[in-house]
Amino acid sequence: MTDKTFKYVPFVTEVMTARYPKLSEPDTKGEYADGKYKTEATADEDYTERFQEEIQAVIDQHFAGKKNVHAPWKETKEGAIAFNFKSPSKKLELFDARGNPLKAGVVIHGGSLIRIAGVIAAWEKGAKRGVSLWPDVVRVIKLGSGPDDFEQFCGPDGGYDPSQAFGPPEDGYDGSDPSTW
């Protein structure tokens, strides 16, 4: 079997919106846990197009004329393009907008505005080939305030938990107070 070979091209993104980030800790829970630091991220239409062109140039350079080349993006159910960033094995360096290291315990939630620096890794193993976005450093421009839309409906094991559907408690009726019955 042929060893996987890599070629690297550095990148630095503009501001993007994190989706389902596992940047503070690796993804270790749920059916698809792989122990990696990762996130999906979306951007405005203009930057999405330019970043896709940058990635496509790497694909064209390394895999000209080849078919079935994996590209690191997908279309979301909302119709946006989400880029997939996944670190192959190392912990990421995380910084705030001013360049200070994030304090231990800070969790980057979905909706956070981030910039990512890393490499576009062109790889080939046997008949499989493609490019991956390997993040090294993440700068948090604006920290999201809560869980991802999907995560708020999930329990700790990643399963559906309807009791979490509405998020944190709200002001209003308190069913635990007998005087309101």
Q: What is the CATH number of the domain that holds 61?
A: 2.40.50.140
User: Does 116 fall in a domain?
Assistant: yes
pLDDT tens by residue, 51-104:
999 999 999 999 988 888 999 999 999 899 999 999 987 899 999 998 999 888
Range of the domain at 50: 5-167
Cβ(40)–Cβ(78) under 8 Å? no
Distances, alpha carbon 142 to alpha carbons 24, 67, 109, 161, in Å = 15, 39, 10, 28
**Residues lower than pLDDT 50 in the chain:** 1-2, 148-162, 165, 173, 180-181
User: Is the pTM higher than 0.75?
Assistant: yes
Domain count, the chain: 1
